[in-house]
C-alpha cells in the first residue's frame, strides 16, 4: 500500500502541472473503486480550475473553485501525468484532462482507491475528521507521544501506527523508526519515557523525510508520477531483512507479529 512518503512524492510530482489549470474533462473508465465514483463527481469536476493540492495523511486533496477531489491510492494505485493522446493501459480507471493537454490518470489494478468530489471543507469529511497530527509537523514531538501513551499497555508500534494518534506512519516506516530510536516494537507504550519518545519522534521525521527524498519505497506496486519506482527500499535497516545481520551490531534481524503486522527488529539494539 502506498504510504505517506509515496503519497507526498506523488503530490510533489503532480502539483506543478495541475495547479492553476482548468479541467477540460473527467473520464471515468471504470467507476468500481472502493467507493464507486459518484455521478455527482462526474458532474461537478469538469470545468473547474484547480486552486492547489495538498496531502492529509495518505489522502490527496485537489482543491477546486467549488469543493475538492479526495483521492486515495488504495492498495495498488498510482497517479501518472501523460499527454492526453497517450494510449490507455489496463487499469487506467480515471482520467482528468487539463486545458494544457496533459492528462492525470489513476491506475489501480486492485480498484481499492478512492476518487470523489466532496463539497464540504475537507477537514470535516468523515474520512479525515478523526485523524491525528501529521508526523512531519511540529505537533509530533516527544512530549506529545509521551502524553498520549500514558497508561497504555498496547505495543508502541501499534500506538504510532494508530491514525487517531499519528497519521501516515505505515508498517515499513514504523519498523525503521523504532530501530533508529532503539525501541523494541513490542514494548508497552506506557512504559517508555519522555527522552526515548523524543528520539522516536525525531526518528519518525528522519525516516519519512529520507523516504520522500528517495521517492518512496517500492516493494510491489508503487510507481511515482513519472512511472519510475521509489528507491528507499535500498536503505531499509530492518524491514524485510529477517535473518540478515543487523547493520549496527551484526546480530540477526528477527521477525514477529504485532497487531497482525510483520515486525522486524534487532533484539540486541532495541529494548
In a domain, 270, yes or no: no
- Among the options 56, 58, 157, 241, which is catalytic? 58
Residues in Cβ contact with 98 at an 8 Å cutoff, skipping those fewer than 6 apart: 17, 18, 21, 22, 23, 24, 50, 104
Domains in the chain, number: 2
Q: Say whether both 115 and 188 belong to one domain.
A: no
Verify whether residue 254 is a known catalytic residue. Answer: no
Q: Say whether both 110 and 19 belong to one domain.
A: yes
Determine which helix (DSSP H) or strand (DSSP E) holds 15, and give its type and residue range: helix 4-18
In a domain, 167, yes or no: yes
Q: Say whether both 94 and 151 belong to one domain.
A: no
Residue 251 has pLDDT above 50, yes or no: yes
Which of 124, 154, 177 delimits the end of a domain? 124
Q: Say whether both 110 and 210 belong to one domain.
A: no
Q: Say whether both 172 and 256 belong to one domain.
A: yes
Q: Say whether both 157 and 259 belong to one domain.
A: yes
Q: Collapsing DSSP states into helix, strand and coil, what is residue 177?
A: helix
List the domain range (segments joined by +) for residue 216. Answer: 142-265
Q: Say whether both 148 and 259 belong to one domain.
A: yes
Verify whether residue 16 is a known catalytic residue. Answer: no
Q: Say whether both 241 and 184 belong to one domain.
A: yes
Residue-wise pLDDT for 107-159, tens only, equals 999 999 999 999 988 889 999 999 999 999 999 999 999 999 999 999 999 99
Partnered with residue 89 across adjacent β-strands are none
Residue-wise pLDDT for 4-49, tens only, equals 988 999 999 999 999 999 999 999 999 999 999 999 999 999 999 9
User: How much is the pLDDT for 230?
Assistant: 46
CATH number of the domain at 255, please.
1.10.8.50
Residue-wise pLDDT for 179-218, tens only, equals 999 999 999 999 999 999 999 999 999 999 998 888 755 4
Tell whether residue 152 is among the known ligand binding residues.
yes
Verify whether residue 3 is a known catalytic residue. Answer: yes
Q: Say whether both 202 and 119 belong to one domain.
A: no
Q: Say whether both 251 and 221 belong to one domain.
A: yes
Verify whether residue 205 is a known catalytic residue. Answer: no
CATH number of the domain at 53, please.
3.20.190.10
d(CA 258, CA 92): 35
Q: Say whether both 113 and 15 belong to one domain.
A: yes
Q: Say whether both 147 and 250 belong to one domain.
A: yes
d(CA 60, CA 73): 9
Amino acid at each position: 500500500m502506498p504510504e505517506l512518503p509515496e503519497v507526498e512524492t506523488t503530490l510533489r510530482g503532480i502539483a506543478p502541472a495541475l495547479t492553476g489549470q482548468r479541467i477540460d474533462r473527467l473520464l471515468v473508465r471504470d467507476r468500481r473503486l472502493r467507493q464507486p465514483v459518484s455521478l455527482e463527481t462526474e458532474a461537478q469536476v469538469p470545468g473547474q480550475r484547480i486552486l492547489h493540492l495538498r496531502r492529509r495523511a495518505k489522502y490527496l486533496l485537489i482543491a477546486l473553485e467549488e469543493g475538492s477531489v479526495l483521492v486515495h491510492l488504495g492498495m495498488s494505485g498510482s497517479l501518472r501525468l501523460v499527454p492526453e493522446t497517450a494510449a490507455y493501459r489496463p487499469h487506467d480507471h480515471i482520467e482528468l484532462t487539463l486545458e494544457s493537454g496533459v492528462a492525470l490518470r489513476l491506475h489501480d489494478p486492485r480498484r481499492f482507491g478512492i476518487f470523489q468530489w466532496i463539497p464540504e471543507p475537507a477537514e470535516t469529511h468523515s474520512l479525515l475528521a478523526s485523524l491525528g497530527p501529521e508526523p512531519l509537523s511540529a505537533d509530533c514531538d516527544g512530549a506529545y507521544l509521551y502524553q498520549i501513551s500514558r497508561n497504555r499497555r498496547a505495543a508502541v508500534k501499534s500506538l504510532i501506527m494508530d491514525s487517531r494518534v499519528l497519521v501516515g506512519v505505515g508498517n515499513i516506516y514504523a519498523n525503521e523508526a523504532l530501530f533508529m530510536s532503539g525501541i523494541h516494537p513490542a514494548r508497552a507504550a506506557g512504559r517508555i519515557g519522555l527522552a526515548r519518545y523524543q528520539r522516536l519522534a525525531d526518528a519518525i521525521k528522519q525516516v519519512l523525510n529520507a523516504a520522500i527524498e528517495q521517492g518512496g519505497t517500492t516493494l510491489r506496486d508503487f510507481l511515482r508520477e513519472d512511472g519510475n519506482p521509489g528507491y528507499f527500499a535500498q536503505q531499509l535497516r530492518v524491514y524485510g531483512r529477517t535473518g540478515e545481520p543487523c547493520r549496527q551490531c551484526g546480530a540477526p534481524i528477527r521477525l514477529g507479529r504485532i497487531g497482525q503486522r510483520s515486525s522486524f527488529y534487532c533484539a540486541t539494539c532495541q529494548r
